[in-house]
Amino acid sequence: MPNQRIKTPCVGLCSTVYGDLVCRGCKRFHHEVVNWNGYSEEGKRSIWHRLEILLAQVMAAKLEVFDPALLRSQLESRQIRFVAEQSPYCWAYHLIARGARVIQQLEAYGVVLMPEFRDWSLPELRDAIDREFFLLSEAHYHRYIAPRFLDDTAP
């Protein structure tokens, strides 16, 4: 399974079908979810890149990946899917998203929490990361995307 290329950011929790402009699962914009299969590889890479930047920003504020090679080997040995081309901070998200309830020592994965988060449980941290990632994606949508949809003079 980890050798399979991840072809879409979809995590199977789509909220755009309920009217959200930003998916609470994958954090893509509604139109990106709907049009994904029609995008060129360059268009898809652009979306992946935006998601990576926002997620890595959230993660870097909460933890440090001190050994990316160890983190990668742990993900591979535990068959946790991740996008190898992305930042190790995104890899750490996949680790926490999949293993929050079972990981006892995060340091064994090449990751350490920032001091202000060391008393948090991993499920609590995972949920906070997910909320912040969603809020950043939503803010990005409202700042950069929504004005273009409202501007009748835009090409």
56-83 confidence digits (pLDDT tens): 999 999 999 999 999 999 999 999 999 9
3 lies in some domain:
no
Residues of the chain above pLDDT 70, percent = 93
Domain that holds residue 128: 16-150
Query: Euclidean distance between the first and final Cα of the chain, in Å?
Result: 42
6 lies in some domain:
no
Q: What is the DSSP letter of 144?
A: I
72 lies in some domain:
yes
1 lies in some domain:
no
pLDDT at residue 102, rounded to an integer: 95
Rounded to 5°, angle at Cα 3 from 25 and 55: 35
Tokens 């959230």 identify what position? 58
101 lies in some domain:
yes
Q: Is 136 left (phi over 0), alpha (psi -120 to 50) or beta?
A: alpha
| Domains held by the chain: number | 1
61 lies in some domain:
yes
63 bridge partner residues: 113
* Mean pLDDT for the stretch of residues 77-103: 95
